[in-house]
Structure 1
């Protein structure tokens, strides 16, 4: 990779959700995991990283050191309490004012569009590069991802297009996301770099002994319609009863999806598997790792995913993944080799894929071994080095193509 000549002072902006929050709780998800682990890996390489997030609790400290070289800073913008994700647009300007008092930084990297709208004007004022990561991109009625999605705030589509055009670089987590930035937002390909995530292969590891009997299937996600939990329930209900595993759902509903868990419980009861669906809430990372490696199969039925970090965590755990053919999931799961990718959202097609794995121990074993082998090529240090290659390209004098720079690294 191309290393910067000196340690960098980096600001990672995550306005609406703290990377220290437990994934699966509230609005915390894969983005939180990516931001925190990339920050810690960059710090291990000698860089100083501040993670900037909104204070959503009076109990939150001003600063919190997460690991040597990584400081989480809580900024006062809006009420010091949890609010619906879509309401954060109202706090952008105040958050920018609080950011301006911090630093100095060599570069600002924003995660999600709220963060970018706060940070890009400040970066321009300070004369430093601004990098944008989206993690999810708004869909209008004409796009195939709009079913299951909802508008999160009035200015999102215009804001994301502006960020894609005006940021010095856009870092995507998959080729699928990079293509969306170009096709939907008008971003320039030469300013888009793909930096895959990593996975902790020590924490997420295969079980010593494979699971036997019916066992359980796992879905780990924020509980919202976009994640397709209804399809998981319908699919498990359609698996032949002698093979049907319990369905364990790990995660919680955010404040703007009150009542969704009750809808899922009612669906399970209506399909006759109410007693076979267990909601365990958001899991600490160690508990999630244990839950995954004990599963017979991991299900990812999302309507859209920029990558699907849980697919990588399931793979590292040596568990076959059954995933929807959406977005970056086609890159996270190699169909027929590390898991099964289902093109249809028909529960019968999903039940067939799940049944294939449960009924054929040889297939399950082949998928498990290949999944773990592939996951070992993804680690957080490599992911951080990819980011630092992009940063170094932006900090060099003269024009550059971050995509070509990364390809040469």
Structure 2
């Protein structure tokens, strides 16, 4: 007998899952939330995605072509604002949740959403699921370059959500370990659901070699993403074998000056004509860019998962990535993982792909096979499984979800 559909509230306060990735604070979290919501809706679940109004031009409630209901709540200015400012909007956003209809489960993404979503779920006596996507580093810890210490509000808020939510969904085993160790969550309540990839959108094309091959980095422009290392890697190659570097993405809110710093670095290293900043791209345009690339570089100092690496592999493009965080889980065994941040080492590994078809073809094929096992349908199915387990506890009277 088919299981009945669920009524699901997906809360994403600080950035809309339907905004273009690579701009402002829009990144892999947005792709995951949107893709999972759409797959759940396609399976017949009623899915309402709730976010802060970021523009005055859209209706308060609308139904997307996928069947997902999008609700915009007025909290703070109707404009994009840096994530760090939005703690002040939580109370107003929480008040706006009172207009949401009946729901059976609330799933909050990022700590700001959770601080509104958890009390809302308790008021409605339904389970609350939390996903973090990134976890703050305490100011007293040794921070990776580019990782910002966070306010006390976030540190305390994340620990509260990890311990008080009925389940936590992590996007990698690396994040799961951080949630347990840093936030002291009950390990039994932390579930790993790996992100997926749309293999019909991201697929292999014909690699461009004339007039010059190119490699890609796709990320928000901020120090944490390590884009300076990508530029230094290109500069470390001899001019005759140097590919172009295409950087897809726009500055994270509050890091607009970092784009100027990267441009200046390219000039300083003499590769300004070989480094192209193309800004944030629509998903279709990013897939087209990947399809004809020689490699995708993911030089981030830290990643909770690294969705770009998975999308590159679905496109049949070899990946060179930092051996950090969830990136280790986002790539196949043949991908190049580098612990060093020495651009000469990165350049040496990239040159091997530029000079020899055999390792390129082997990595391309391995990436396609790896990505084929990671679908958004699977991500949605495993997420719904977490929901059903919580609801089953409630039906059997072994769980109490009211405040």
Partner SS, residue 119 of structure 2: helix
1:78-227 to 2 correspondences below 5 Å: 78-141=76-139, 143=141, 145-207=143-205, 209-212=206-209, 214-227=212-225
Give the CA deviation at 1:151: 3.2
1:32-43 to 2 correspondences below 5 Å: 32-43=30-41
Paired residue for 2:374, among 373, 378, 388?
378
User: How many aligned positions are there?
Assistant: 395
Tell me the equivalent position of 2:246. 248
Cα distance in 2, alignment partners of residues 299 and 143 from structure 1: 28
Cα distance in 2, alignment partners of residues 382 and 285 from structure 1: 20
Partner SS, residue 396 of structure 1: helix
| 1:109 and 1:133 in contact (8 A); partners too | yes
Tell me the equivalent position of 2:23. 25
Paired residue for 1:358, among 335, 347, 354?
354
| 1:40 and 1:67 in contact (8 A); partners too | no
RMSD: 1.5
| 1:218 and 1:299 in contact (8 A); partners too | yes
TM-score (norm 1): 0.94
| 4+ runs deviating over 4 angstroms | 141-145
Cα distance in 1, alignment partners of residues 384 and 273 from structure 2: 49
Give the CA deviation at 1:218: 0.4
Cα distance in 2, alignment partners of residues 262 and 152 from structure 1: 25
| 2:218 and 2:308 in contact (8 A); partners too | yes
Unpaired segments of 5 or more residues in structure 1?
A: 401-409
TM-score (norm 2): 0.95
| 2:225 and 2:301 in contact (8 A); partners too | yes
Paired residue for 2:389, among 388, 393, 403?
393
Cα distance in 2, alignment partners of residues 153 and 293 from structure 1: 41
Cα distance in 2, alignment partners of residues 153 and 123 from structure 1: 25
Give the CA deviation at 1:68: 4.2
Unpaired segments of 5 or more residues in structure 2?
A: none
Partner SS, residue 336 of structure 2: strand
| 2:332 and 2:370 in contact (8 A); partners too | no
Tell me the equivalent position of 1:260. 258
Paired residue for 2:71, among 70, 73, 94?
73
Give the CA deviation at 1:325: 0.7
Cα pair distance change 1:190/1:316, threshold 3 Å: same
Cα distance in 2, alignment partners of residues 305 and 283 from structure 1: 20
